[in-house]
Amino acid sequence: MIELAAAFAVAGAASNAVGTAFQRKAASASSRGGLRLLAELVHQPFWMIGMAGVICAALFQSLALVNGPLALVQPLFILELPFALLVAAPLMHRRLPPWGWWGVGGCVAGLAVLLLAAAPHGATDHAPLSRWIPALFLCTGAMAAAIALAGRGRPPARRAALLAMASATGNALTAALLKSASGTFADHGFAAFLRSWQTYGFALAGAASVLLLENALQAGPLAAAQPALTIGDAVVSLVLGITLFGERIRTGWWLVPEVCGALMIVVGVVVLSRAVQGITLVPSASGEENPAT
């Protein structure tokens, strides 16, 4: 089951990367905004491919969470960043800089070391309300605090990092709620899924996370937002997996390779964030280069 969960998680990360890259490609070709942009995008093949990628990613994530621990599945979504870079480079007619490959290697190797050392196990699909209440309170409180600290007038990099951290917390909470709702669907069917409060909780948390991410990307550089988003999601997911679903990781001397793997991931994500920022620059109508949004 663990191997199946890992396979679905990697497939989800790859699907989400394809979806993000193709959506950015479609949006970069338009100068419109708001509802007019959406009306134009739905007629573009690139955007439809992107949406298919996002839908497949959500399906793969649900399957991964049903079959394995949250502490395993969510960290594997770190692979979305190198996947997105590898897809976006040829799509945007740009080359991955040589140092970008070091970032890819750091992410992949660090993730392998971390997960092999930690060996997350012991997952269940459900948690009692006595665990959900403090988890919801702490997650929403942390998100609210990050938003408050990211108020206008703060340095752009700090605002981007804080808003991305709020989005990461929301992503982790969304995944925890999705895991519970998916477990309900697998055990009791679609009617029980619709009656579960977690079903509507993950929809609400997911929408809030997307909104916070958009604000983070507008507030400051991607190099500040992406590490906070990627690392924050993995860390909060690990905590939620342990406290909500009784998941366990190896401790003792295993903490040494776990810390080494985590540090490799951090360095790799920082390097890749700078590479992604360079690749997602696209020519504007005036001939200058602007970030794709």
Instruction: Write out the H or E segment, with its range, that includes residue 73.
Output: helix 70-76
pLDDT tier, 291 (very low <50, low <70, confident <90, very high otherwise): very low
**d(C-alpha 53, C-alpha 177), whole Å:** 22
pLDDT at position 247 over 50: yes
Average pLDDT taken over every residue of the chain: 84
pLDDT at position 288 over 50: no
Least confident of 6-15, 18-27, 111-120: 18-27
What's the mean pLDDT in 28-47? 63
For residues 1 and 67, the answer to whether their CB atoms sit within 8 Å is yes
Task: Identify the pLDDT of residue 73.
Answer: 92
What's the mean pLDDT in 123-138? 91
pLDDT tens for residues 200-240?
A: 999 999 989 888 887 887 777 767 787 888 889 989 999 99
What's the mean pLDDT in 57-69? 91
Tokens 């679905």 belong to which residue? 8
pLDDT tier, 243 (very low <50, low <70, confident <90, very high otherwise): very high
pLDDT at position 277 over 80: no
Beta strands in 119-209 (DSSP E): none
Cα dihedral 161, 164, 169, 175 sign: negative
For residues 213 and 160, the answer to whether their CB atoms sit within 8 Å is no
pLDDT at position 150 over 70: yes
Indicate the pTM of the whole model.
0.81
pLDDT tier, 29 (very low <50, low <70, confident <90, very high otherwise): low
Classified as helix, coil or strand, 97 is coil
